[in-house]
């Protein structure tokens, strides 16, 4: 691939928000971008053609889950991840580091890597920088992530320092092991909410020269203000001409505030997870579809929305599906929520192009915080 994989097209004159394009082996991605999550190879309840219709550009899959089942050998034998997922557009795979962190009761981590038991059947596995990179090389995603150590919030200072040291060492090993020139390998900055450790980690990873950089270890309980303070501090430490990815984030307010600070890429389970639980995102605040107030409502979930749910179904029908356990309900709200998030990203890209992002964000950010933060 060309050395120039990311181009900044516009920067808002009054803040750090930027509009860019990321070139991958399976197409160009307009940023800022929100990436739906298909952990085990599918965005739950949503078909690839439906993702295309809502203009989703990149979807995620996860190394840990594909290693557990069906196994990387099977995916590789069948032609790689794009064919397996029936998605001929960019794919990003996480390294599995976060899953190892989230399964803390089942794992043991040392400087070499992680030893853990499968959450499915208890079978023992080993994952380290070289193994995680090899699996991702073989799966064939367009963007792959370095193996890192994520820490909880709060964490002891000693734990944060160890995690940063390992994350940098593992990133160097991942770069050495990386063997698929068609893939972009991103490093992950760790350090919790300790700004000095974020500085140390970012500087050492930038010295290793990756085509993109992510911020990990956020949205794990620290809250919006701590997260944005960390993003505000860390983003300027990363190269201007390379994409910046905030992992596992987040709410509408999180996205707007992070784009304002120069973040280009996001992923989060909220649209589909909340959709499966009867929670709809709208510009006017959450709509909880199980509530009795919707029992005879002929309104769509969100007036003016062009998703399949809002174009074809009333709130009364969607509530009925949830009340009677019909799978149609979770599918429809997942489609709606993903459409909402994609529309929000288009609004942000347009505002940056017009040089009006800060003014737009100053209006929208407090509104979305009041609507979605309890």
**Positions marked active-site:** 94, 267
Joined tokens for residue 78: 């069948």
Rounded to 5°, the CA angle 92-151-146 comes to 30
Who contacts 374 (Cβ-Cβ below 8 Å, separation ≥6)?
Answer: none
Rounded to 5°, the CA angle 356-36-48 comes to 115
Q: 10 Å Cβ neighbour count for 43? A: 24
- The b/e string for 146-163 (b: 16+ C-beta within 10 A; e otherwise) is bbbbbbeeebeeeebbbb
The helices-and-strands tally (H runs, E runs) of the chain is: 15, 16
Residue 248 near residue 277, CB atoms below 8 Å? no
309: nearest Cα among 342, 283, 338: 338
Strand order in the sheet with 18-24: 6-11, 18-24, 27-31
In order, the DSSP letters of 328-359 are: HHHHHHHHHHHHHHHHHHHHHHHHHHTT-HHH
Q: How far is CA 242 from its chain centroid? A: 17
In whole angstroms, give the CA distance from residue 367 to residue 267: 22
Residue 125 near residue 165, CB atoms below 8 Å? no
How far CA 206 is from CA of 129, 132, 189, 192, in Å, comes to 18, 21, 10, 18
Q: How far is CA 124 from its chain centroid? A: 28
220: nearest Cα among 357, 356, 101: 101
């Amino acid at each position: 691939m060309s050395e120039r994989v990311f181009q900044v097209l516009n920067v808002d004159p009054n803040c750090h928000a930027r509009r860019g394009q990321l070139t991958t082996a399976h197409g160009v991605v307009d940023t800022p971008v929100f990436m739906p999550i298909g952990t085990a190879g599918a965005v739950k309840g949503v078909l690839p053609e439906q993702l295309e219709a809502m203009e989703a550009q990149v979807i995620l899959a996860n190394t840990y889950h594909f290693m557990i089942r069906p196994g990387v050998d099977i995916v590789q034998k069948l032609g790689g991840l794009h064919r397996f997922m029936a998605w001929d557009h960019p794919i990003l795979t996480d390294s599995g580091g976060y899953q190892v962190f989230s399964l803390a009761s089942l794992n043991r981590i040392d400087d070499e890597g992680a030893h853990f038991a499968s959450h499915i059947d208890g079978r023992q596995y080993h994952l380290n920088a070289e193994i995680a990179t090899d699996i991702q090389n073989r799966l064939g995603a367009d963007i792959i992530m370095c193996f890192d150590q994520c820490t909880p919030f709060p964490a002891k200072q000693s734990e944060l320092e160890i995690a940063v040291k390992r994350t940098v060492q593992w990133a160097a090993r991942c770069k050495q092991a990386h063997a698929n020139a068609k893939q972009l390998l991103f490093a992950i900055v760790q350090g919790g909410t300790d700004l000095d450790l974020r500085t140390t980690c970012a500087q050492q990873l930038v010295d290793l020269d990756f085509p993109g950089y992510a911020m990990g270890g956020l949205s794990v309980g620290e809250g919006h203000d701590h997260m944005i303070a960390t993003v505000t501090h860390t983003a300027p430490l990363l190269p201007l001409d390379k994409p910046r990815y905030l992992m596992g984030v987040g709410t509408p307010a999180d996205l707007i505030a992070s784009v304002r600070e120069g973040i280009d890429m996001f992923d989060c389970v909220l649209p589909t997870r909340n959709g499966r639980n009867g929670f709809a995102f709208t510009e006017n605040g959450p709509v909880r579809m199980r509530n009795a107030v919707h029992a005879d409502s002929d309104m769509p979930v969100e007036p003016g929305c062009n998703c399949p749910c809002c174009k074809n179904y009333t709130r009364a029908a969607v509530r009925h599906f949830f009340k009677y356990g019909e799978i149609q309900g979770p599918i429809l709200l997942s489609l709606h929520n993903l459409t909402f998030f994609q529309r929000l990203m288009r609004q942000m890209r347009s505002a940056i192009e017009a040089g009006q992002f800060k003014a737009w964000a100053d209006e929208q950010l407090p509104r979305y915080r009041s609507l979605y933060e309890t």
